[in-house]
Amino acid sequence: MDKQKRILAVDDEPNMRRLLEIGLKQAGYQTATAENGQAALDIIKHEQVDLVVSDLHMPGMNGLELFAQIRNDYEALPLIMVTAQGEIATAVEAMKLGAADYILRPFDLEVLEVAIAKALDVQRLQMENTYFKDAAQPEVQGLIGESPPMQQLKTLIAQVAPEKATVLIAGETGTGKELVAKAIHQASSRKDGLFVAVNCAAIPTEMLESELFGYEKGAFTGAVKARVGKFELADKGTLFLDEITEMPINLQAKLLRALQEGVIEKLGGNKQIALDNRIIAATNRDAMQAVKDGKLREDLYYRLNVFQLNVPSLKERNGDVDLLCQYFLKDHETNISDAAMSLLAAYAWPGNVRELENVLERAAILAGRETIEPQHLPSDIAANAQAAKQADVANQFSIPQHTKQIEKRLITEAITACDGNKAKAAKLLEISERSLWNKLDQYDLK
């Protein structure tokens, strides 16, 4: 039972309102009551309501008129009509207006509980179907790679997934930050809820607030019906905010409040909606530098950065290139030659995994059903691979290069051994403390 769901009972008889209020509370729901249709509309406008149970016969606005008004303004709000035995035709009319069900008087509270549970389930499925239709996201695939950086990343994902902690994912463009977020969601207790992704850089600034929080009818020109936002869609699930540093600063304040209090307000509304979201954010920037540059609120940064994951670039995990090639080519009737694979393995991949996928798709088209050869790859890959090979050969015999590597390793180990005390580390290294500080600057080890 979802104890956050709030049921509005509408009836002009005080005894019936009291009976419904007590029964619904015993069933685990939060409740609100209204004595007529107008009072019900006022409550729906200003407070969180997840389902309405209304009597048919009431002075002023009757149940059918109330349902028609609700359906016009709040398309997704579930409705249940309570009517008498001889009014089946009226109940059918209520169903035509969008009522989820109708109950005949007199009724047992258990019957009403079943009808409410069914209506809320149908609403959830409708929201999920709408989301999947709009998102049209491909099926989530696993994280490909067995290199040490990927093994470490998978271990951290397994550790944080069962927790409630907010996660901040850092990594270059094209490394697969959204796949990491999906992996966390699928390994968590929220896997049966929705994973809802929002790219803060791809949505125009003036639309992002309504996309996240939804809006009420009449909130702005063109808002002819209330709309559910991504926060509500991700209730009991995971909301992934990609490129969080691109979110406008004024909207970051509203996001921070939603994270801290677990409630949102729709655009154009003033009622609080309690939600249970897990937030995962991602950025391709240095998040701390974004704070210094005024791109990210410092308080929001610390609220998001409870657990940070760093997704390695493809250059850092080039041992996975072979596995990734097998994965991306599995749907193509083609193979890749050793010569072509050598060029791919030697390339720096500034566009990371996304660039590799695009290169392989192009190569598969050019090769047809034949084996992918070096001539099917972009010319810059062969040129860069050759340059990298020559640089590796030069570095292999470079005494200054090896000296730098040895110094960096010894300095790092000495400072660790001295628990960060630079003066003691300098003595251990048999150099002056000033020389140590100069080398820390030189090798960017601070």
Domains, in order of start, for the chain: 6-134 (3.40.50.2300), 148-310 (3.40.50.300), 318-396 (1.10.8.60), 399-442 (1.10.10)
190-225 tens-digit pLDDT: 998 899 999 999 998 888 999 999 988 888 887 777
Q: Is residue 248 pLDDT above 90, yes or no?
A: yes
Which is higher by pLDDT, 169 or 62?
Answer: 169
Confidence of residue 242 (pLDDT cuts 50, 70, 90): very high
Written as one letter, the residue type at 226 is A
Residue 215's SS3 state is: strand
**pLDDT average, residue stretch 364-373:** 92
Return the closest-CA partner of residue 169 out of 155, 153, 158.
153
* Nearest partner of 60 among 45, 38, 77, judged by Cα: 38
Enumerate the β-bridge partners of residue 101: 80
Burial environment of residue 106 by CB neighbours within 10 A (0 to 12, 13 to 18, 19 or more): exposed
- Give 169's strand partners: 282, 309
What is the chain's length?
A: 446
Rounded average pLDDT over 254-277 = 90
- At 436, give phi and psi (nearest 5°): -60, -45
User: Which pTM value belongs to this model?
Assistant: 0.65
Using a pLDDT cut of 70, give the percent of the chain over it.
89
On whether the CB atoms of residues 385 and 343 are closer than 8 A, the answer is yes
Token pair, residue 306, equals 């409870």
53-111 per-position pLDDT tens digit: 998 888 888 888 888 888 888 877 888 888 876 666 666 777 777 677 777 777 778 88
